[in-house]
């Protein structure tokens, strides 16, 4: 992923766990840079990144299955500290001479750990004899530990819940320290990277900015770059970072695909023209996009149409500019994770509208993606480093396919306009109530359902609008925002009264646990 290694990096080997990304969050929160690599290419990632420590993730697999994932032997031959989590513990034990069995009592959910021996990972945290909540998720379990290991903590159903080989600096746990349901988990991970691996924790966004600018200059040289600017935080931060690196070699292109929020294109163009000295082209391609999307109901088909048309428009605009050698976009680390299946899981189709795997060969262009190592909250910190105002940095994320996936079922111009108006009213009410900054993402959805209603003296047969609002930090997990009924009543009343085509409003209270896709 990176072109050059960071001096102090933690390598996370992914065996397919739905919460592997949360391990990376905890490491980065401790001020240490890390990257996730799939187990199939762990040896290549190890050689490329030259890490100071390695963490092995969980997995839905069983070490007892033929062909199940294994850690690259180079990791154990390196002499580096290794921390195995859940399946990571099991494969460590299986590969180093221990034993894993199935058929024992499974553990899924809250459990309590009994600390039996002191350990450097417990410094400032746990003491012998104390009891602590952890989160378990396993069917198999370790039944014999390798030579050199000893038990430092147990749970009722996991006699080897926490084991350590202090001489080799190997640590392994059956539970998941990365999830919030293990309250002290983040500190355990922090102790591993700081006290065991000896990494200082001085990775900062200012350092990332300087490194990214240097990398962009090295990649681009004196060539031309076009940047896909949507007006969202990700693409805007990418544009400013690239502009800092190569100046007038950059041309930003805002493609209005007719699927943006109300007045979004106009407001984005005005902001950049007033505050930033960027070369920005506004291309109205709404007829083209909506024309191909009309009648399409499958969300994956919609995404692929939108992704293809974006490429075609950028290709055409590049020709008008006399050619370009690079296409820049605001791809983030979750986009990369959710666009590439590391272990054959469902993530292969989550972000299919992103071109993270490369561009069509006919374009003869390379991608510039300076943010693809970052999570959303890290991009916001970088935006502040670059001087973006808080009012802009705090904007709710809005997907590239825009209203197309907020309009399940067949697309039509009429339905898009109905949704656009409802969405604008909803956000207006959120801002008036002073709730915008308390919510990570909010939007309206026009459901493919019509209901009979009575408005005044007449019957109506109109659409149902769903309102969605979630709290999150990085978008990898989310919980619904707990509105009071007074707010919901006020927002619903305005939408029904002011938007012709909607006669009922509902509120979506589903959460987004790790590994699930966004509402669509």
Q: pLDDT value at position 356?
A: 46
Angle at 217 between CA 214 and CA 221, to 5 degrees: 155
502 token code pair: 């909607």
**73-121 pLDDT tens trace:** 999 999 999 999 999 999 999 999 999 888 666 666 788 999 999 999 9
Q: Which of 47-56, 138-147, 338-347 has the highest mean pLDDT?
A: 47-56
Residue 3 pLDDT exceeds 50 = no
Pair (14, 60) in one structural domain: yes
CATH label of the domain that carries residue 215: 3.40.50.620
Strand partners, 441: 470
Domain count, the chain: 3
Q: Is residue 86 part of a domain?
A: yes
352 token code pair: 């299919």
Q: pLDDT value at position 309?
A: 94
Q: Is residue 403 part of a domain?
A: no
Pair (240, 388) in one structural domain: yes
Pair (239, 133) in one structural domain: no
Q: Is residue 405 part of a domain?
A: no
- Considering the candidates 6, 132, 176, 353, report the single residue annotated as catalytic: 176
- Known active-site residue 181: no
Residue 503 pLDDT exceeds 80 = yes
CATH label of the domain that carries residue 432: 3.30.300.10
Nearest CA to 515 out of 337, 374, 354, 302 is that of 337
Nearest CA to 134 out of 105, 113, 158 is that of 113
Pair (252, 181) in one structural domain: no
**313-325 pLDDT tens trace:** 999 999 999 999 9
Angle at 40 between CA 37 and CA 41, to 5 degrees: 55
Pair (49, 172) in one structural domain: yes
- Known active-site residue 178: yes
Q: Is residue 3 part of a domain?
A: no
Pair (61, 170) in one structural domain: yes
**278-292 pLDDT tens trace:** 899 999 999 999 999
Q: Is residue 512 part of a domain?
A: no
Residue that is last in its domain, among 360, 393, 426: 393
- Considering the candidates 35, 178, 338, 421, report the single residue annotated as catalytic: 178
Pair (277, 330) in one structural domain: yes
- Known active-site residue 482: no
Contacts of 5 (CB under 8 A, 6+ apart): 48, 49, 50
Cα 464 to its chain centre, rounded Å, is 30
Residue 345 pLDDT exceeds 60 = no
What values do phi and psi take at 13, rounded to 5? -90, 120
Pair (145, 220) in one structural domain: no
Q: pLDDT value at position 342?
A: 43
**232-246 pLDDT tens trace:** 889 999 999 999 999
Tokens 């969980």 correspond to 58
Share of the chain above pLDDT 90, in %: 61
Tokens 């012998």 correspond to 128
Pair (340, 419) in one structural domain: no
Across 419-432, average pLDDT: 98
Pair (460, 479) in one structural domain: yes
Q: How confident is the model at residue 142 (pLDDT cuts 50, 70, 90)?
A: confident
| This model's pTM is above 0.85 | no
Q: Is residue 517 part of a domain?
A: no
Indicate the range of 60-64, 308-312, 367-371, 471-475 predicted with least confidence.
471-475
Instruction: Give the DSSP H or E segment for 220.
Output: helix 205-220
Q: pLDDT value at position 348?
A: 36
Residue 196 pLDDT exceeds 70 = yes
Residue that is last in its domain, among 143, 168, 196: 196
Residue 305 pLDDT exceeds 70 = yes
Residue that is last in its domain, among 149, 165, 196: 196
Q: Is residue 77 part of a domain?
A: yes
CATH label of the domain that carries residue 40: 3.40.50.880
| Domain membership of residue 481 as a residue range | 412-507
Pair (181, 281) in one structural domain: no
Q: How confident is the model at residue 48 (pLDDT cuts 50, 70, 90)?
A: very high
Pair (126, 211) in one structural domain: no
Across 10-32, average pLDDT: 89
Query: What DSSP line would sit under 392-447, residue for residue?
Result: HHTPPP--TTGGGGSS-SSB-HHHHHHHHHHHHHHHHHHHHTT-GGG-SEEEEEEE
Q: Is residue 274 part of a domain?
A: yes
């Amino acid at each position: 992923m990176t072109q050059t290694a960071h001096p102090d990096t933690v390598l996370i080997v992914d065996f397919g766990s739905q919460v592997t990304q949360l391990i990376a969050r905890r490491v980065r929160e401790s001020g240490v840079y890390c990257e996730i690599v799939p187990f199939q290419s762990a040896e290549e990632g190890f050689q490329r990144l030259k890490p100071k420590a390695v963490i092995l993730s969980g997995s839905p697999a069983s070490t007892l299955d033929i062909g199940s994932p294994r850690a690259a032997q180079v990791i154990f031959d390196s002499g580096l500290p290794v921390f195995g989590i859940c399946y990571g513990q099991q494969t460590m034990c299986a590969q180093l001479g221990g034993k894993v069995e199935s058929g024992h009592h499974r553990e899924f959910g809250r459990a309590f750990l009994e600390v039996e021996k002191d350990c450097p990972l417990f410094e400032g945290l746990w003491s012998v004899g104390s009891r602590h909540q952890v989160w378990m998720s396993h069917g198999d379990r370790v039944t014999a530990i390798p030579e050199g290991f000893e038990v430092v903590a147990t749970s009722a159903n996991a006699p080897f819940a926490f084991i350590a080989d202090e001489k080799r600096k190997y640590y392994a746990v059956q539970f998941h320290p990365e999830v919030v349901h293990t309250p002290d988990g983040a500190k355990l991970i922090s102790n591993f990277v700081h006290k065991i691996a000896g990494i200082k924790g001085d990775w900062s966004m200012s350092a990332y900015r300087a490194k990214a600018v240097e990398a962009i200059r090295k990649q681009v040289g004196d060539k031309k770059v076009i940047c896909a600017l949507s007006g969202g935080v990700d693409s805007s931060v990418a544009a400013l970072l690239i502009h800092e690196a190569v100046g007038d070699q950059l041309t930003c292109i805002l493609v209005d695909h007719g699927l943006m929020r109300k007045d979004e294109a106009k407001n984005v163009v005005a902001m950049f023209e007033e505050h930033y000295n960027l070369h920005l082209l506004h291309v109205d391609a709404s007829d083209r996009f909506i024309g191909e999307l009309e009648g399409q109901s499958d969300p994956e088909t919609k995404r692929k149409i939108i992704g293809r048309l974006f490429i075609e428009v950028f290709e055409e605009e590049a020709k008008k500019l006399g050619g370009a050698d690079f296409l820049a976009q605001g791809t983030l680390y979750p986009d990369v994770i959710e666009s590439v299946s590391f272990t054959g899981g469902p993530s292969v189709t989550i972000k299919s509208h992103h071109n993270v795997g490369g561009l069509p060969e006919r374009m003869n262009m390379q991608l510039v993606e300076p943010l693809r190592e970052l999570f959303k909250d890290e991009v916001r910190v970088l935006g502040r480093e670059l001087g973006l105002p808080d009012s802009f940095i705090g904007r709710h994320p809005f997907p590239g396919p825009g209203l197309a996936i907020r309009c399940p079922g067949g697309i039509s111009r009429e339905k898009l306009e109905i949704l656009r108006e409802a969405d604008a009213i909803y956000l207006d009410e959120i801002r008036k109530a002073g709730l915008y900054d308390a919510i990570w993402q909010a939007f309206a959805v026009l459901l493919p359902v019509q209901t009979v209603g009575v408005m005044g003296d007449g019957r109506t047969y109109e659409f149902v609008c769903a309102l969605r609002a979630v709290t999150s930090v990085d978008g990898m997990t989310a919980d619904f925002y707990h509105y009071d009924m007074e707010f919901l009543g006020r927002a619903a009343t305005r939408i029904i009264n002011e938007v012709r085509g909607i006669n009922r409003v509902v509120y979506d209270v589903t959460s987004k646990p790790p590994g699930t896709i966004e509402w669509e």
